[in-house]
Chain A
């Protein structure tokens, strides 16, 4: 089966600019996650979707980050305006069910550099 697709792979922007990341999960996976992985740290959950509804966005900096999952398939994560500390890899993951006992399948990530 095809994996989790993410684009772009790399992005360099100046601070205060905006940027968007795209994720296409594995077909049939109802649950989708966005994680932020800062260099040298483990991934940190930003937002969790179940179909097109938000389950948990408690760790999402809502003053600058937004995410949507229209039609319960693809998802986009946006940052506006970007700050230097947003430099990180943004990972998308999906799973068949909300319960995480099978683990997640991750995409290759988008590496964002804010200068």
Chain B
């Protein structure tokens, strides 16, 4: 069965510093991978996704992620953090060969220090 593990429930970085949020997955079939962001009292917003093709994918707000099959990882990065990046981030993977469902990791709360 597919699963998603997010390392670190809380990450704190200084404004302007590199953001790195870690995600590892397990899947018996080639997965589709996603990162979602959730701001307080809001729903989830799609940041970026990997389906096929180029393994480095770029998303909104300057975020990007790299699919590394050998490491079963899909870490999220941003070169320079902004205060507005403070939010909860969820890594997600499709489930099964039909890829009709998405399962989510437990989330990482990103805090930005002034």
Q: How far is the CB of A104 from chain B (nearest CB, A)?
A: 6
CB-defined interface of A16-48 with B at 8 Å, one 1/0 digit per residue? Answer: 000000000000000101000000111111001
Complexed CA–CA distance, A99 and B94 (Å)? 9
Chain B contacts for A108, CB-based, 8 A = 41-43
- Indicate if the CB atoms of A100 and B94 lie closer than 8 Å: yes
CB-defined interface of A33-70 with B at 8 Å, one 1/0 digit per residue? Answer: 10000001111110010000001100000000000000
Residue among B90, B98, B101, B106 having the largest count of chain A Cβ atoms under 10 Å: B101
Chain B contacts for A4, CB-based, 8 A = 43
Chain A contacts for B43, CB-based, 8 A = 4, 6, 91, 93, 106-109
- Indicate if the CB atoms of B98 and A43 lie closer than 8 Å: no
Tell me how many residues of B have a C-beta within 8 Å of chain A.
26
CB-defined interface of B88-108 with A at 8 Å, one 1/0 digit per residue? Answer: 001010100011111111110
Question: Residue A81 at the B interface, CB < 8 A?
Answer: no
**In the complex, chain A residues 81-115 whose Cβ is within 8 Å of any chain B Cβ:** 91, 93, 98-109, 111
Residue among B4, B41, B44 having the largest count of chain A Cβ atoms under 10 Å: B44
Q: Which residue of B lies closest to A105 (CB)?
A: B46
Complexed CA–CA distance, A114 and B80 (Å)? 41
Tell me how many residues of A have a C-beta within 8 Å of chain B.
28
Indicate whether A99 sits within 8 Å of B105 (C-beta atoms), given known contacts A4-B43, A106-B45, A108-B43.
no
- Indicate if the CB atoms of B32 and A100 lie closer than 8 Å: yes
Q: How far is the CB of B26 from chain A (nearest CB, A)?
A: 15
- Indicate if the CB atoms of B107 and A42 lie closer than 8 Å: yes
Q: How far is the CB of A11 from chain B (nearest CB, A)?
A: 14
The 8 closest A-B pairs by CB, nearest first: A42-B104, A106-B43, A106-B44, A108-B43, A103-B46, A101-B51, A98-B100, A42-B106
